[in-house]
């Protein structure tokens, strides 16, 4: 996106350099302009990822360079280290990019570095050398065939993700030096893997404890009544990068193209995360139900989910678990017990006298059928009758 300052600077350049030549006026070109493909990728990425402006811009820039064919033939397309607290979207942005480009969020070769805490476990990654017991049964995780699985006719691109890289042994870090620098990996049977068409992502939670102390709201989000956030982003970035420099060797850090720090999510951003996750649930319901079924959540219901899904230790991940517990499981029970019918619209509201959500059939889409008797979860109780009174003729469903 071109800012007003950049536009003014461009006009100044045109005034200075736009002088007549033998072939007409010299034209100042706009290096900030993005192709239509890159703009479409950026737009789709912003629909799936909340906040994290720097990470989005870095991915879009790498993708545009790849589309232009200007990546180095002897290095990976990009070596990115994502730092930040848990629940801030480091892994999610990689999966979202894969879903946009490859049509499947699982089209990523993911290496869980917690499984490689000992040097001998590297054989799970590259296979055992010939002569070792069981070398024929050890299938490497990273192979040329695995990388090519995500290739499309119009795009030969692969994603390789090393999750929580700080938990890996020194042997894996040494292995990464050649991968990040020369874009090659030699397997146990001496086969070579070409990584020149691959984006390599590394994630780490280094510095999360110090970042939690800075924001005073725990990891993953910022509480609304925190101390003023003046200069907070700069402090968070400095803390995370310094923690990485203390952990990794200079040779390792020097092979990274970009270090991106993911910032804790603020309350407004959690609202956006909630909207995205609820849209995903609606898609799951539509795919699973044999009949059309829609649901909507009131503002009180959303506030309840945000309250239940905000946790100082787990960040935004806890919000997804709260949606599963309070929305997905009850809807599954309603579908399994045939309490929902074709064309129904399900209204989810906060129960006025209970720390839970109430599930109600919206009469605007379907007239109430007096022959159907729906036993409320609190049948005969004052709570159930009060919910029905608050919503007119809507029926409370039992789950």
- Spell out the per-residue pLDDT of the chain, length 399, in tens: 556 666 666 666 556 555 555 555 667 777 788 888 999 999 999 988 888 889 999 999 999 999 988 888 889 999 999 998 888 889 999 999 999 999 999 999 999 999 998 888 888 888 776 656 665 666 788 999 999 999 988 889 999 999 999 999 888 988 999 999 999 999 888 889 999 999 999 999 998 888 777 766 444 445 445 455 557 778 888 989 999 999 999 999 999 999 999 987 777 888 888 898 999 888 888 877 666 778 889 999 999 898 887 765 566 677 888 899 999 999 888 888 888 777 788 899 998 877 789 998 876 655 333 333 233 333 333 333 233 333 343 455 655
In the chain, which residue ranges form alpha helices assigned H by DSSP?
4-17, 36-48, 53-68, 90-102, 123-126, 144-148, 170-182, 208-215, 232-247, 250-253, 267-288, 299-308, 317-323, 329-336, 382-390
Residue 266 phi/psi, 5-degree rounding, is: -90, 170
- Domains of the chain and CATH, by start: 1-33 (no CATH), 36-264 (3.40.50.300), 269-396 (1.10.8.60)
Q: Are the C-beta atoms of residues 5 and 13 closer than 8 Å to each other?
A: no
The pTM assigned to this predicted structure is: 0.76
What per-residue confidence (pLDDT) applies to 387? Answer: 34
Q: Which two tokens stand for residue 385?
A: 């009758």
State how far the Cα of 37 lies from the Cα of 27, in Å rounded to an integer: 24
What per-residue confidence (pLDDT) applies to 65? Answer: 92
Helix axes 53-68, 36-48, angle to 10 degrees: 150
pLDDT tens-digit map of 130-143: 656 665 666 788 99
* Cα 288 to chain centroid, rounded: 24
Q: Which of 199, 194, 341 is nearest to 258 (CA)?
A: 199
State how far the Cα of 88 lies from the Cα of 314, in Å rounded to an integer: 10
């Amino acid at each position: 996106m071109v800012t007003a300052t950049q536009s003014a600077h461009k006009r100044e350049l045109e005034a200075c350099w736009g002088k007549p030549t033998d072939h007409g006026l010299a034209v100042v070109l706009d290096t900030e302009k993005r192709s239509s493909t890159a703009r479409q990728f950026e737009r789709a990425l912003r629909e799936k990822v909340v906040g994290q402006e720097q990470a989005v811009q870095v991915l879009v820039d790498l993708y545009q360079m790849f589309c232009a064919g200007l990546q180095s033939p002897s290095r990976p397309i990009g070596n990115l280290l994502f730092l930040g607290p848990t629940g801030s979207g480091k892994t999610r942005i990689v999966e979202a990019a894969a879903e946009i480009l490859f049509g499947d969020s699982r089209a990523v070769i993911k290496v869980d570095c917690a499984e490689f805490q000992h040097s001998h476990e590297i054989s799970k990654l590259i296979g055992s050398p010939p002569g070792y017991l069981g070398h024929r049964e050890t299938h490497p995780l990273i192979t040329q065939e695995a990388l090519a699985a995500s290739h499309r006719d119009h795009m030969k691109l692969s994603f390789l993700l090393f999750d929580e890289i700080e938990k890996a042994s020194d042997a894996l870090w040494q292995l990464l030096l050649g991968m990040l620098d020369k874009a090659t990996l030699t397997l146990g049977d001496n086969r070579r893997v070409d990584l020149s068409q691959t984006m390599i992502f590394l994630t780490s939670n280094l510095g999360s404890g110090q970042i939690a102390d800075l924001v005073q709201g725990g990891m993953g989000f910022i509480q609304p009544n925190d101390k003023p956030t003046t200069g907070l982003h700069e402090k968070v970035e400095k803390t995370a990068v310094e923690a990485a420099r203390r952990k990794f060797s200079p040779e390792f850090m020097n092979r990274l193209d970009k270090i991106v720090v993911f910032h804790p999510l603020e309350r407004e951003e959690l609202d956006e995360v909630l909207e995205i996750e609820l849209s995903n649930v609606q898609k799951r319901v539509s795919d699973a139900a044999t009949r059309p079924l829609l649901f909507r959540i009131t503002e009180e219901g959303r506030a309840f989910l945000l309250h239940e899904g905000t946790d100082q230790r787990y960040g935004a991940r806890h919000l997804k678990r709260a949606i599963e517990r309070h929305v997905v499981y009850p809807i599954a029970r309603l579908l399994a017990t045939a309490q929902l019918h074709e064309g129904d619209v399900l209204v989810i509201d906060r129960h006025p006298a209970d720390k839970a959500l109430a599930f109600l059939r919206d009469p605007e889409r379907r007239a109430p059928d007096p022959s159907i008797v729906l036993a409320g979860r609190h049948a005969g109780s004052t709570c159930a009758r009060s919910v029905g009174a608050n919503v007119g003729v809507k029926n409370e469903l039992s789950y």
